[in-house]
Chain A
């Protein structure tokens, strides 16, 4: 890595480092995302809004706004934000609480706040603020993190936010991401492995018990008294049996992916987006990518995300200080978990939970906050003094 970056030394005379590879990957994903948002949404947009580019236009606007924010953040030294860590945490809590009176309901869950014409998902704010708060907190704790008390303190910090996201906004996936970000940041900042392995095993065991219990309950009860998430688990295990209910979206996504085959039907030629897979431009966009561009298209997207994560890793490992490294690890964790969860949901590898594909799915506040996070990473990258490499 040092060698690879040293080639860049020769190219650039500037003292500070701008990671063009990262920038290029992000721009590519955004561009590809816009193409796919248009492809997946034009049919329904035309039927519903009379404008095939309805969703595309909104997404372009959010993307441009996000890119501006990204460039601004990238040019501000990242230590500037450290002083806002606590405020950010409080703001997250307040925004989530504001959902209760002011939240805008959509698809049976209140997740959005409207400020004039702009909509905002507090969950996005919470993820960003959580990265900032934990990075700052871990740096302050120093060696205390190695002890049990420090470990559990860091583990407990995201819990109120996660619980609120889950219960108030009915957004389990965002809650999982917030906790996941915290665990990854803790993992990187702690020299220990044992505790994490135990934690992973415990989580896996708990998951298995939950699934097993729900299946047994379903067998015993025969009735549909199972709650929202219980039915999801059953639909995950046998989506075709729940094809008209909880398994509907999953089945439609599988039809899209499976019918794509190796080479796909061609860009724009998806059938499933014609209303069979409702709002295909949102969480299920990856299935339409697979349908239109085939296995190769799906792989290309995954490889782009792997490259993005690799760039994050390089920047984290060359960050000028621990705070910078942890910020990058947080962003890495956020994007990696979200991509993995999304693709796993779309391919029915895990139970269905609403989660968007970073940079590609339609959604203004998601893309804006992701770009702010990329701005932070770029800012950390700028702090790398090339002579140190």
Chain B
């Protein structure tokens, strides 16, 4: 075909053009291969990378499980609150947005305008807004205004059982109390919203969102009885005011199974506003550190976190050890001249003139120090210490609240006769109120050391998947006989002895009073306390009242015993009516 081309268009021009064409084809083939590599073999990798780039993850808080009392009353709940934000790039009617937000949220125009006009992807205007206000704002259907719902912990009874329940922080995580111990049951699983956004973070509407629904936390059913708790709190408040005491704690538990029915520690604090110090504290000009210290003090649960010298209530333990070891029999007789010599030390009885001749039961009724010192001496250091250990006094009780304090006790090799004497009537060592209550429980309930607790079960909000909590019980802490004798003696204490102010008409109550001087000695500060239980022959409820630094009369028998009496007068009929704890 070249031959009939007449002009100087040479053959090589044509062939070289063809070569150019094929060179191009070769390069295109390489590029097409490259595309296959990128779009088939590497596709998964780049798709994943691109998805990461395009999706914004927002978490949806899970509703925290509620805390529910023994009667089904809700002690800790969730309230839906709203967070109002604006997305600058989506706002169409700026002035209207500003007007509406000012009106509905009660904010100054200057404040709102600054945020609405700020060029940012999303700007928060106000959080923790009531749902009704959030709904009202949503009803305006304004472009660029976002109303996000959120859960906030809410405590319907404000300060009731504050130190037991505890509260939650900004991310709904438990900070103190049951809220922190049962975090894993209460918290649930947060959900997520995956939103597709453009490079500026603006949501792409047509792409929709991918939602992983949150799983709500489990409701926690606790043994605390709101009625008993509120009555105990009232009593404690009243006592604190009339006795001008620093603080008053009342602990009510079931000695048979360790369930705690009430634990009031006044002053309590408002769970819905846990970061505000009481009005009595001048928080002006306090350093953050100092303020936090005061808050920690306010949140402290005296029944658990603090130790004290139990004083005469501890004679229950000395008596039980004496009876159990055979060192003393109820019929043994003693003589109290008003003091007792231990080595070269003269230890006085609280009755200066002495109790004279008395048997062991009478000695307990009189809370006679020489009697218990004698019993302690008869038991001896080694045996006493081993009972101390056997009763579980050296271990923590294992209560389901955080920060339980341990016992402060002498080392066994440091216990001489004087130390043994003081230990015998409850001085020179420290235990927590809950420790005293649990140890007394095991002595009067037939010798079973129970674990004090609140949590009964955790149940999903739809009633499924319930988890019943079980707690260890240690049998034979004391023999049944010793336990029975102790119940008899302690009933006598209330019926006719130093605890007679704890007697409740129509009920058999056992108990023991105590008046202990706080350290340092001679400060003039006392702790008055009373431990009572009923019915005395088959204890179903055990209460401890501790009055810290009362003014005026400070004897446990005179001020603490009446508190427990009033408590029992109210709750014993109530417990019978509720058919409580019939196992």
Partner-B contacts on A (CB < 8 A) = 2, 43, 47, 184, 187-191, 254-262, 271-272, 274-276, 278, 290, 294-295, 298-299, 302, 305-306, 309-310, 313, 316-317, 319-322, 325, 329, 332-333, 336, 340, 343-344, 347, 349, 388
Point out the residues of chain A lying under 8 angstroms from B207, CB to CB.
Answer: 271
Give the most central of B1, B19, B24: most A CB within 10 Å: B24
Q: Nearest chain-B residue to A192 (Cβ)?
A: B12
Q: Is the CB of B28 within 8 A of A306?
A: yes
Q: Is the CB of A272 within 8 A of B50?
A: yes
Partner-A contacts on B (CB < 8 A) = 1, 4-5, 7-10, 12-14, 16-21, 24-25, 27-28, 30-32, 34-36, 38-40, 42-43, 45-47, 49-51, 53-54, 89, 196, 198-200, 204, 207
Task: For the complex, give the distance between the alpha carbons of A187 and B21 in Å.
Answer: 12
Point out the residues of chain A lying under 8 angstroms from B40, CB to CB.
Answer: 261-262, 295
Task: Pull 20 A–B residue pairs with CB atoms less than 8 Å apart, ordered by A.
Answer: A184-B20, A187-B16, A188-B20, A255-B50, A258-B42, A258-B50, A260-B39, A274-B198, A276-B54, A290-B38, A294-B39, A295-B36, A302-B32, A305-B28, A317-B13, A319-B9, A321-B7, A332-B20, A333-B20, A336-B20
Residue in contact with B18 in the complex, picked from A255, A259, A313, CB distance below 8 Å: A313
Task: For the complex, give the distance between the alpha carbons of A97 and B302 in Å.
Answer: 88
Q: Is the CB of A191 within 8 A of B12?
A: yes
Point out the residues of chain A lying under 8 angstroms from B200, CB to CB.
Answer: 275
Residue in contact with B198 in the complex, picked from A189, A276, A316, A336, CB distance below 8 Å: A276
Q: What distance in Å separates the Cβ of B9 from its nearest Cβ neighbour in chain A?
A: 6
Residue in contact with B39 in the complex, picked from A262, A305, A319, A322, CB distance below 8 Å: A262
Q: Nearest chain-A residue to B22 (Cβ)?
A: A313
Residue in contact with A329 in the complex, picked from B17, B32, B35, CB distance below 8 Å: B17
Q: Is the CB of A257 within 8 A of B46?
A: yes
Q: What distance in Å separates the Cβ of B19 from its nearest Cβ neighbour in chain A?
A: 8
Q: Which applies to chain B's interface (DSSP): helix, strand, loop or mixed?
A: helix
Point out the residues of chain B lying under 8 angstroms from A340, CB to CB.
Answer: 24, 27-28, 31
Task: For the complex, give the distance between the alpha carbons of A336 and B28 in Å.
Answer: 10
Q: Nearest chain-B residue to A324 (Cβ)?
A: B9
Task: For the complex, give the distance between the alpha carbons of A332 and B1 in Å.
Answer: 23
Q: Nearest chain-A residue to B11 (Cβ)?
A: A191
A261 touching B43 in the complex, CB below 8 Å, given contacts A188-B20, A191-B10, A276-B198: yes
Q: Is the CB of B54 within 8 A of A271?
A: yes
Point out the residues of chain B lying under 8 angstroms from A302, CB to CB.
Answer: 28, 31-32
Task: For the complex, give the distance between the alpha carbons of A276 and B27 in Å.
Answer: 29
Q: What distance in Å separates the Cβ of B121 from its nearest Cβ neighbour in chain A?
A: 12
Point out the residues of chain A lying under 8 angstroms from B28, CB to CB.
Answer: 302, 305-306, 340
Q: Nearest chain-A residue to B1 (Cβ)?
A: A2
Point out the residues of chain A lying under 8 angstroms from B53, CB to CB.
Answer: 255, 276
Residue in contact with B46 in the complex, picked from A259, A309, A329, A332, CB distance below 8 Å: A259
Point out the residues of chain B lying under 8 angstroms from A295, CB to CB.
Answer: 35-36, 39-40
Task: For the complex, give the distance between the alpha carbons of A388 and B4 in Å.
Answer: 8
Task: For the complex, give the distance between the alpha carbons of A173 and B7 in Å.
Answer: 36
A188 touching B35 in the complex, CB below 8 Å, given contacts A256-B50, A321-B7: no
Q: Is the CB of A259 within 8 A of B47?
A: yes
Q: What distance in Å separates the Cβ of B336 from its nearest Cβ neighbour in chain A?
A: 88
Q: Is the CB of A336 within 8 A of B46?
A: no
Task: For the complex, give the distance between the alpha carbons of A256 and B43 in Å.
Answer: 10
Q: Is the CB of A258 within 8 A of B54?
A: no
Q: What distance in Å separates the Cβ of A8 from its nearest Cβ neighbour in chain B?
A: 16
